[in-house]
Structure 1
Amino acid sequence: MTDQPDVTIWHNPACGTSRNTLAMIRNAGIEPRIVEYLKTPPTREEVAQAIAAAGLTVREAIRQKGTPYTELGLDDPARTDDDLLDAMMAHPILINRPFVFTPLGVRLCRPSELALDILSAPQKGPFVKEDGEVVIDAEGRRVL
Structure 2
Amino acid sequence: MKIIVYGIKACGSVKKAFSYLESRGLKYEFVDFKTTPPDSARLKRWADALGIKSLFNTKGTTYRTLGLSQQSLDDSAKLESMLAHPMLIKRPVIEIVDAADSHVRYLVGFDEACYSEAFGK
Length-normalised TM-score, structure 1: 0.68
Task: Give yes or no for contact 2:57–2:90 (8 Å, CA) kept in 1.
Answer: yes
Gaps of 5+ in 1: 123-144
Q: Which amino acid aligns with 1:40?
A: T
Counterpart in the other structure of 1:24: 20
SS of aligned partner of 1:82: helix
Query: In the TM superposition, what are the counterparts of 1:115-134 in structure 2 within 5 Å?
Result: 115-120=115-120, 122=121
The answer to which structure has the higher helix fraction is 2
Query: Does residue 101 of structure 1 match 2:88?
Result: no
**TM-score when normalising by structure 2:** 0.79
Report the Cα offset of residue 9 of structure 1. 0.7
In the alignment of these two chains, the number of paired residues is 115
**Counterpart pick for 1:33 among 22, 29, 34:** 29
Question: How far apart in 1 are the matches of 2:38 and 2:67?
Answer: 23
Relative to structure 1, the CA distance from residue 47 to residue 14 in structure 2 (aligned partners, 3 Å threshold; closer, same or farther) is same
Question: Shift in Å at residue 91 of structure 1?
Answer: 0.8
Cα distance 1:53–1:82, how it changes in 2: closer, same or farther (>3 A)? Answer: same
The residue matched to 1:31 in structure 2 has which SS? coil
Q: Quick one: structure 1 residues 105 and 89, their matched pair in 2 at CA, closer, same or farther if it must change by over 3 Å?
A: same
1:77 deviates by: 6.8
Looking at structure 2, the residues matched to 25 and 77 of structure 1 have their Cα atoms a distance apart, in angstroms, of 37
Unaligned runs of 5+ in 2: 99-103
Q: 1:74 aligns with which of 68, 72, 77?
A: 68
